[in-house]
Structure 1
Amino acid sequence: MSSSTSTSSVRLGDLLHPILAGLISVIVNYGGTFILVFQAARVAGLSPELTASWVWSVSIGVGVTGLFLSWVSREPIITAWSTPAAAFLVIALASAPYAEAVGAYMISAAAFVLLGLSGYFEKVIRLIPSGVAAGLLAGILLQFGIGAFGGISLDPMLVGLLITVYILLKRFTARYAVVGILVVGVVALLLQGRLDMSGLTLQLAAPVFTRPEFSLNALFSIALPLFLITLTGQYMPGMLVLRNDGFSTSANPIVTLTGLGSLLMAPFGSHAFNIAAITAAICTGKEAHEEPSKRWIAGIAAGFFYILVGIFGVTLAAVFMAFPPAFITALAGLALLGTIGGSLANAMADAKTREASLITFLASAANITLFGIGGAFWGLLIGLMAYALINGRLLRGKPVVNVAAESVSGKEAAS
């Protein structure tokens, strides 16, 4: 009797943490960046129906692809919409007819399908030295860690409470630290009356088909930048997040499937979805579960929550966006502290690549933006140049692997 109870409680615990990690990643995504989609829709002059269709298509697409990839691979494959692409569209849609923009979405998505089928992207990912990859990830996530504490200036009571609770839980029950700050934060906001849900009503979203149009102008002004921005700003760091936490799923099916999903959903408004980077780190590290083999559940949970939001259109997206910005930044930053620390440790572990890894970290943290391409690409490029010059060779370092995975395979070989 007691043995049965113990087993069921262990199973419940195994489910709780990755499910909440998936939920937190979804909250951070909608609460932190989804406003860009609404801004781009406003710039394009889209009707409420077309805007709701955009929310439906990108949410359903992200949810289905992430859930399917996580289930098949048994790894936490977190998908998301392209945030840098949404920021780009805030400007681009001001001067392009919406039907031509949809056509450009489809061209960009088709290019990703071809890239995935070619297999070249996976080959490039596997050539990147592990220290450089870890430095890139730490640099990308650094701003979120800083933002967690910088929020004290904006909302000292709320953010101070979250930080205090996080530290105390780390001291007494580290496993429940991230879960604890989510619960405490929501309760605090409700007690302060800062979450007003009275005007919200659940409404089913209705997808609206837009007949795509194709033009050279949209090809060069939207499709090509959209492809490059999503490739360098999402797929590259997203795959390195997976590699950094020891997951070895090939990039090829991920790029192919998300590209195909984007192609199918584009006529309903979806601009692009892909493997996630920042929010993926919430689900791929130890905070999701101590055992890497259990973290794929976070991918299933995130996919389910995305589909749920998609079904109800802008309603649930508005719920997540109702959280104060300081709460979102603090939640994201504190949830990513473990990943930031682990990435920095991996980046500095090898004395031979330490300098190049440090340069990658600082260049990525600087968030350089040139020619419309974001900081992840430039940080990686600068880091690889430093690695080549310091070591006298290019891309011959140790591939991105997980130390724990190496030790496990070593034990298996010995046995």
Structure 2
Amino acid sequence: MFHTVVAGVIAAITGFASSFALVIAGFVAVGATDAQAASGLFALCIATGVLCIALPIALRMPVSFAWSTPGAALLVSASATTQQFGAAIGAFLVCSALIVVAGLWPAFGRLITSIPKPLASAMLAGILFPICLAPVTATVEQPAIAVPMVLVWLLLARLAPRWAVPAAMGVAVVGIAIIAGPAVLAAPTVTPSLEFVAPAFDPAVIVSLGLPLFVVTMAGQNVPGFAVMSTFGYEVPPRPVLVSSGAAGVGAALFGGHAINLAAITAAIMAGPEANPDPAKRWVATVSAGVSYLVLGAAAGLAAAIVQASPPVIITAVAGLALLGALVAAVTGALEAVDSRIAAIGTFLVTASGVAVVGIGSAFWGLLVGGVLLVWLRPRRRVAA
């Protein structure tokens, strides 16, 4: 049982260390102050921790949750969409409310997941691509930190892949601490607290941020999360998972959090035989992860202070290393079907461009352009004489 508990702790630390910098950077990109960004991360840790404790106990399955990493990547690329954090909060609330609706109304959930996989994957690839370029840029602009960071990641990607990104983040933190000195610990956000943010419902921000956030969270996290669980023999009921994660997301959004979803990558750590040979006992690992997330929430303020003291390209570079696997999977999914490759590439290019038209961001336009191309270029069926 001790090994099962440790598996949960490892999963939580891996999930937190691999993506907290991306989350903070995403909040700042859409107008959050340092305190609001720390509050958002703190709220996500609390919501994730509570879900990881409550649902496994209720279902007796290793159902685990995480914040939406593709969603955080979307925020980083959405700086042209809004600089009013209240408007972003409104979009977060809409996203989480739609997740609840998807759980209560299965037909709606099926509608979202019926978006052609090549287009959904291409949109995700377009969101991730600029971020995954950052390690290259960082090695030129900030070589003293970036080069050791990339080398450590490269070494562990071969020897211990699970720890490659957390170790790279550790190297970055050491480099930032050397540059910034004790000033990081003196930052006012080091002690985390929840800060309520009044939402504003801007239609343009909802369309360009809220709806794409919902799509990438459902298609990029929840669907793979259910798939991972099924590979280990668990038939997870969608309704309680989607309703509870959406409701938790609504609560977290009021304090700055963007979205909560089923875990996918870290879920494999807790749902597999490595956690416990007995499938009926693996749920203990997710409870352990939940407790760990609550503890890690206390570090949200320090995490925000470190991110704010860092050269922005370093934080994006760490995120880029963490998202390389997701980019590979997204590109593979986008180009898998030969008949839809042009439509997928169109979606990718428009999304990666970062353009905003009439205040609506590129992720929405990418899906729209891809959909038009998919319909227009669809092979015509010959009518039999």
**TM-score w.r.t. length of structure 2:** 0.69
Classify 1:388/1:297 alpha carbon distance in 2 versus 1 (closer, same or farther; 3 Å).
farther
Match of 1:24 in 2: 17
CA RMSD, 1 decimal:
4.8
Quick one: which of 328, 334, 337 aligns to 1:341? 328
The SS at the match of 1:273 is coil
Any stretches of 5+ residues in structure 1 without a counterpart? 1-6, 43-47, 95-100, 213-217, 394-415
Offset, 1:265: 6.3
Quick one: which of 201, 205, 208 aligns to 2:193? 205
Quick one: which of 120, 134, 144 aligns to 1:157? 144
Match of 1:97 in 2: none
Quick one: which of 111, 128, 135 aligns to 1:141? 128
Classify 1:297/1:77 alpha carbon distance in 2 versus 1 (closer, same or farther; 3 Å).
farther
Offset, 1:235: 1.1
Aligned residues of 2:132 and 2:320 also touching (Cα < 8 A): yes
Residue type at the aligned position of 1:222? F
Q: Distance in 1 between matches of 2:156 and 2:299?
A: 35
**Cα distance per residue 1:347-372 (max 9 Å; x no partner):** 22332332222222222212232233
Which shifted more, 173-182 or 362-371?
173-182
Any stretches of 5+ residues in structure 2 without a counterpart? 231-235, 276-282, 381-385
Offset, 1:118: 3.4
* Number of positions where the alignment pairs a residue of Structure 1 with one of Structure 2: 357
Q: Distance in 2 between matches of 1:173 and 1:111?
A: 38
Q: Distance in 2 between matches of 1:105 and 1:326?
A: 25
**Cα distance per residue 1:347-402 (max 9 Å; x no partner):** 22332332222222222212232233322222122222222222259xxxxxxxxx
Residue type at the aligned position of 1:167? L
Match of 1:328 in 2: 315
Q: Distance in 2 between matches of 1:172 and 1:256?
A: 39
Residue type at the aligned position of 1:146? L
Q: Distance in 1 between matches of 2:284 and 2:317?
A: 24
Confirm or deny that 1:354 pairs with 2:341. yes
Offset, 1:158: 0.9
Match of 1:284 in 2: 264
**TM-score w.r.t. length of structure 1:** 0.65
Classify 1:364/1:323 alpha carbon distance in 2 versus 1 (closer, same or farther; 3 Å).
same
The SS at the match of 2:218 is helix
Aligned residues of 1:109 and 1:272 also touching (Cα < 8 A): no
Confirm or deny that 1:270 pairs with 2:287. no
The SS at the match of 1:136 is helix
Quick one: which of 160, 164, 175 aligns to 1:177? 164
% same residue: 24
Confirm or deny that 1:241 pairs with 2:220. yes
Q: Distance in 2 between matches of 1:385 and 1:324?
A: 40
Classify 1:74/1:365 alpha carbon distance in 2 versus 1 (closer, same or farther; 3 Å).
farther
Larger Rg: 1
Match of 1:231 in 2: 210
